[in-house]
Amino acid sequence: MKWFEMEVNEVERSTGTSQASGLSKKEAENRLKKYGENKLDEGEKPSALLIFLNQFKDFMVLVLLAATLISGLLGEYIDAITIMIIVMLNGILGFVQERKAEKSLSALKELSAPQMMVLRDGEWEKVLSSHIVVGDIVKITSGDRIGADMRLISTNGLKIEESSLTGESVPVQKLETPLHGDHKEIGDQENMAFMGTLVTQGSGIGVVVATGMKTEMGKIAHLLKSTESLVTPLQRRLEQLGKILIAVALMLTALVVVIGVYQGHNVYTMFLAGVSLAVAAIPEGLPAIVTVALALGVQRMIKRKAIVRKLPAVETLGCASVICSDKTGTLTQNKMTVTHIWSGGKTWNVTNTGYEPTGDFLINGKKVNVETERTLQQMLVYGSLCNNATVTVKKQKEGLLKKTKNEYVLDGDPTEGALVVAAMKADISSDKLKSYYKKIKEFPFESTRKMMSVIVEDKKGQKYVIVKGAPDVILSNSSHILIGNRTENVTQTHQNLVNDAITRLASQALRTIAIAYRPLSSHEQIGQPLDAERELTFIGIQGMIDPPRPEVRGSIRECLEAGIKTVMITGDHAITAKAIAKQLEIMPENGKVLDGAALSRLSVKELEEMVDDVYVYARVSPEHKLKIVKALQAKGHIVAMTGDGVNDAPAIKAANIGIAMGITGTDVAKEASSLILSDDNFATIKSAIKEGRNIYENIRKFIRYMLASNVGEILVMLFAMMLGLPLPLVAIQILWINLVTDGLPAMALGLDKAEGDVMKRPPRNPNEGVFARGLAWKIISRGFMIGIVTLVAFIITLQANPDDLTTAQTVAFVTLVMAQLIHVFDCRSEYSVFHRNPFENIYLVFAVLSSIALMLAVIYYPPLQTVFHTVALDMREWMLVLGMAAIPTVALGGMRLLKK
């Protein structure tokens, strides 16, 4: 279909839609079922069976299976079957872990998927791009990533960057009129918008004409297939560490086997014991457990409204030393309300806050009639005309009696919403204005111009340019000013008058928006913003407030205790920004405020020298953010940077942790980010950092627990062989220990909550090794102690009854298990086992209890006694076991506690 040649009504007819109401929800659902989701093919994912079989491809597991086969051929059927069961259970556990991680990551992709504004049943709503269907009416605006091929039916200064399709990085000006010609290339189809391209300016409405693999992007889908690895730096480091540990474990295992054979032990028995020991000692599951730990942590972050797009960000969060946060919506509630209006030396106070259009206009505390105040009325009318926000009423039923209550909902920018509500308080509604004024053209707000303008025509045919934006910028573009009902040429006195008003309003933490206008002559043609936004008549300023979020002050204080500096970045006036920063306790006594003009004059090197003293950046454009990031990074900081606009993307990408806003953020900002705040709230950043620190600490806990346990298992066998003793453990017992103690308890550590002081420690050095802060010593010393106490318990039991090797082996087996299960509680704290309540992590308690129950079954259930070569223990032997098993954790933990 040559959509670009069709008239709009033809496109509507061909796609079975209406630009007035869009598709019905039911019809959209039917089309989605019939034609499938709007997604590009991703290639085949490994099947569940393949993932399961992959659990058995490890070299040591294959050797064990070969040894099991030999065991069966030699008639050791019970041992062979039991080993097979244990290997199978290990495989199932690995499979469950891998599937859980995969599902978590798939859920993340779904959560961070782009959304589009779609007209369904006559109402605009946000819909996942994957749920868009042919015939949907879609609204696009600056910063949106287009999610399907569309025929444009309405454009307003719309420009789209199509480099992903055409290779041309220069944005294309779009229009809605039909095109004619047989050989229109994609780059020439000016009334089409294509999947994967980016809106750089303006806005538009289009009809979806192709989705998924039928789009132009679908035809070259290989260009968009994701090749990004989800392996984090920590996982890579642990994989390398795993290789070293495998080499060490194999050498020690080989040493155990050689010494055992030399001491006269049966070769087959020593070989099977050696292979079992190698399987148990090699932490081959470490990278998988780290993946699961990251996935579990990420799921917790999602519950706290933080969506992780790139897994390495989880690790980096724990290193963050500076958070550069946008003010509006992140530190504040994003519910702008006009409270003061200034014009020509007069100031009106506006009562009531929020979006409900009720309130009065006061001068010196006395109510005024807006109809008699011409300048005030003009300010309100023009503020509402130079605007794209709408405030609608929704009926809400509340209480047991289900009484109906009106809820006023804003659709659009909160600053624009505040201007609309202020006008509505004077009974100037958008509908009334539409009946008198017709909007002809719009020049959308741009951060470089710091203003927005519209051209309107009234019923008499008179055209006006109406401009709103930063007061200082609009004043500099104004040649006239309204003073009362008079229009005067702008003089230095007038400039001083306006600047005093800006300062006075800003000192009350109000954001200021100026309104200006210019009548147009009948022959004047306006093509560019520069043509419109000149020789303006300055009317006045509307001062509005966006109250701080109540939870933010506490979060900033908590970040400060954690060694994390909070920096506020805002487009507000410096005085306003400073007032809000002091309210939020961001600004210390000696803190500096830097505005955009000063920032532009500074080089990165010059900014670097003073960046540690600056806490507020005011009047900045998004381009300045990149300079701030680079200066902070040059000083050695790990920077978290928030943003929502297209121009924020470079700074978000350059930051160590790029954070996009989930509600107000553009798709471009979200794609550049590693973290998305689904509630746009600063407190969520603090929670994410806390969770990031905890995930890293939990990974250290696994490593500490697993490696100390593995060291203990190897050493008990090695020392026994060196001393010429019988085998303290048989192969089947070693494998059982590996399954039961390394499985559930290790996983439960990943669900551990953060320690109480996790946000009172300084940020972690990003170059810190996994074994930093004494972890290597804790692993070696505790592993050594576990090995020694197990061997001592074995020797004592064996000396008491030299002819009963099975009892001694059972005692060694139970001592080793109990020592590890007690040790797992010690791993929960950097300090000692007594530092934390063991019942805080109920999952760990259940995991340990289930491991103990399985151990008791092995030593007291007769059929299992035969399989695992165990006997029932009496009270005296249990006293020995528990006493010895407690020594490594309780004794050493007590010593550490006393040292403190």
Catalytic residue ranges: 326
Q: Is 805 exposed, middle or buried (0-12, 13-18, 19+ CB in 10 A)?
A: middle
160: which strand partners?
A: 172, 199
What amino acid occupies position 564? I
Find where tokens 């060490």 sit.
248
Residues 663/343, Cβ–Cβ less than 8 Å: no
- HEC assignment per residue over 433-483: HHHHEEEEEEEEEECCCCEEEEEEEECCCCEEEEEEECHHHHHHCEEEEEE
Residue type present at position 441: K
The whole-angstrom separation of Cα 287 and Cα 230 is 12
CB distance 710 to 60 below 8 Å: no
Q: Which residues contact 746 (CB under 8 A, 6 or more apart)?
A: 289, 702, 705, 706, 824
Compute CA distances 335 → 408, 416, 452, 789, whole Å: 12, 11, 20, 65
Structure tokens at 347: 């100031």
Per the CB < 8 A criterion, the answer to whether 419 and 341 are in contact is: no
- 230: three-class secondary structure by DSSP: coil
User: What is the rounded distance in angstroms from the CA atom of residue 773 to the CA atom of residue 727?
Assistant: 36
DSSP secondary structure letters along 668-693? HHHHH-SEEETT--HHHHHHHHHHHH
Rounded CA-CA distance 726/269 in Å is 11
Instruction: Identify whether the C-beta of residue 887 lies closer than 8 Å to the C-beta of residue 898.
Output: no
Q: Could you give the CA distance from residue 642 to residue 665 in angstroms, rounded to a whole number?
A: 10
| DSSP collapsed to 3 states, 6-19 | CCHHHHHHHHCCCC
Asked if residues 415 and 511 have their Cβ atoms less than 8 Å apart, the reply is yes
* Residue 549: DSSP 8-state: P
**CA-to-CA distance for 186 and 183, rounded, in angstroms?**
10
Q: With CA atoms as reference, report the closest residue to 329 among 87, 571, 500, 512.
A: 571
